[in-house]
Chain A
Amino acid sequence: MNRGWNRIVPYLLILPNYLIFAVFVLAPVLWIVYLSFTDYTILQPSEWIGGRNYERLLQDTLFRKAIVNTIWYWIGTIVPTILLGLILAALLTMKIRLLAAFRALIYLPGVLSSVAVAMTWLWLLDPLQGPINGALEAVGIGGRNWLQNPDTSLPSIIVIGVWTGLGYAMIVLLAGIQGIPESLYEAASLDGASGPQRFRFITVPLLKPILLFLFITATIRSFQVFDLVYILTGGGPANSSTTIVTQIVGASFQEYRMGYASSMAVFLLGITLIVTMLQYWLGSRNTTTE
Chain B
Amino acid sequence: MKHTLTERSLAYLFLTLIALVAIIPLVIALFTSLKGDEEFSLGGMTLLPSSWHPENYSRAWEMADWGVFIRNSAIVTAAAVGGSLVLNLLAGFTFARIRFPGRTPLFLLLLLGLMIPAQVTVIPQFIIMKSIPLFGGNDWLGQGGNGWLDSYWALIVPELAGAFGVFMARQFYLQFPKALDDASYIDGAGYLRLFFSVYLPLSGPLLATLGIFKFVSVWNDFFHPLLYTNSPGMRTVQLGLQVFRGEHQVQYNLLMAASLLVSIPILIMFFVFQKQFIRSMVSTGVKG
Interface, chain A (partner B; CB < 8 A): 1, 6-7, 9-11, 13-14, 16-21, 23-29, 31-32, 35, 42, 84, 87-88, 91-92, 94-96, 100, 102-116, 119-124, 126, 128-129, 131, 134-135, 138, 163-168, 171-172, 175, 182, 185-186, 189, 195, 198, 213, 217, 220-221, 223-224, 226-227, 230-231, 245, 248-249, 252-253, 258, 261-262, 265-266, 268-269, 272-273, 276
Q: Which of B83-110 contact A (CB under 8 A)?
A: 87-88, 90-91, 93-95, 98, 100, 103, 106, 109-110
- Cβ contact within 8 Å between B15 and A120: no
Q: A108-B22, A124-B28, A262-B123 are in contact. Are A88 and B163 (CB under 8 A)?
A: no
A25 to chain B, nearest CB (A): 5
Stretch at the interface among B48-56, B134-142, B199-207, B216-224: B216-224
Q: Give the contact-size bracket for chain B.
A: 35 or more
Count of chain A to chain B residue pairs whose CB atoms are closer than 8 Å in the complex: 272
Residue numbers in A under 8 Å from B130 (CB-CB)? 42
Structural contact, A189 and B1, CB atoms closer than 8 A? yes
List 7 A–B pairs whose Cβ atoms lie within 8 Å, in order of A's numbering.
A13-B91, A28-B123, A91-B14, A102-B19, A164-B287, A166-B18, A273-B115
**Dominant secondary structure of chain A at its interface with chain B:** helix
- Asked if B1 contacts A182 (CB within 8 A), the reply is yes
In the complex, A95 Cα to B15 Cα: how many Å? 13
B128 and A115 contacting across the interface, CB-CB below 8 Å: no
Which listed residue, B121, B190, B259, touches A1 by the CB 8 Å rule?
Answer: B190
CA A111 to CA B14, docked complex, whole Å: 22
> Contact: B22 with A28, CB < 8 Å?
no
Let me know if B179 is at the binding interface, CB within 8 A. no
Is B192 an interface residue when CB atoms closer than 8 A count as contact? Answer: yes
- Please give me the residue from chain A that is nearest to B33 by CB atom: A123
The answer to whether the Cβ of B29 comes within 8 Å of any Cβ in the partner chain is: yes
Contact A120 B266 (CB under 8 A): no
Q: How far is it, in angstroms, between the C-alpha of A71 and the C-alpha of B106 when the chains are bound? A: 35
CA separation between A17 and B112, bound complex, in Å?
Answer: 14
Nearest A residue (CB) for B163: A21
A166 in contact with B22 given A1-B188, A224-B119 (CB within 8 Å): yes
B252 touches A35 (CB 8 A): no
Is B58 an interface residue, CB under 8 A from the partner? no
- With A21-B163, A100-B274, A116-B241 given, is the CB distance from A268 to B1 under 8 Å? no
B residues in contact with A105, CB < 8 Å:
19, 22-23
Q: Which residues of B contact A166 (CB under 8 A)?
A: 18, 22
